[in-house]
Amino acid sequence: MYESIYKTHHPIVQGLNEAMEIAIYQEKPIKALSYDARLKDLPGRLKAALAELDSIRNAIFNAYADDKAKAQGQCMPQLVRLCTKRILKIPTEIECKEKTFRFAQQRYDDKAENLRKMGFTPEQVANILKDGIEKPCEESHKAGLAVLRKELAALEAFTRDYPKHDQRLLIGTQFENWRPENTEAFDKAAEALAQ
């Protein structure tokens, strides 16, 4: 049951994330417009809209996590819920890292091309860019993505391991030290994940 809920709701969450990214990207231009007395409330309205979008996204996360925890039975429901929330967030983090890397690479390439068009030699371009813009490191980018994918696989293996929920499957994730007696600390972690 929870798989169909995920397939139905995940595109909605992705859409909300994209809408929030666009709104955040427009935050500075909107603040610049607030000098006009008729538009001075725009930054506050944008902040309220972002908070509402975030609230909707978190409600979807929580509904999915609750359904998955119920589907998994009542064995360690807090941990299953935390893992499920993290499973939902990782694809978004991967996509964000990929977009950020592509944007940084494109920015670097554009700057280098502009300098070449201005008549600088490749050595001069490299020296100028070394001081101004750091070239994105593809190896560290791939390593970061590999860590996220490994964590996702471990969390999925753990949530599929019903009814046993072998915690050894969580080694290498942020939940590897979860214990029933420190549920309160992990509830705080759940709140942080929901933000």
Note every long-range contact of 105-112, with CB atoms under 8 Å and residues 24 or more positions apart, other chains counting.
105/136, 107/133, 108/133, 108/135, 108/136
Q: In angstroms, what CA-CA distances link 19 with 86, 176, 185? A: 21, 33, 31
Task: Show me where the domains of the chain are located.
Answer: 1-71
pLDDT of 142 above 80: yes
What's the pLDDT at 74? 47
What's the predicted TM-score (pTM) here? 0.55
More confident residue, 73 or 146: 146
**In angstroms, rounded to a whole number, what is the distance separating the alpha carbons of residues 124 and 185?**
53
pLDDT of 18 above 60: yes
Please state the separation of Cα 120 from the chain's center in Å.
39
The highest-confidence range among 15-29, 35-49, 74-88, 157-171, by mean pLDDT, is: 35-49
The highest-confidence range among 108-117, 121-130, 185-194, by mean pLDDT, is: 108-117
pLDDT of 63 above 50: yes
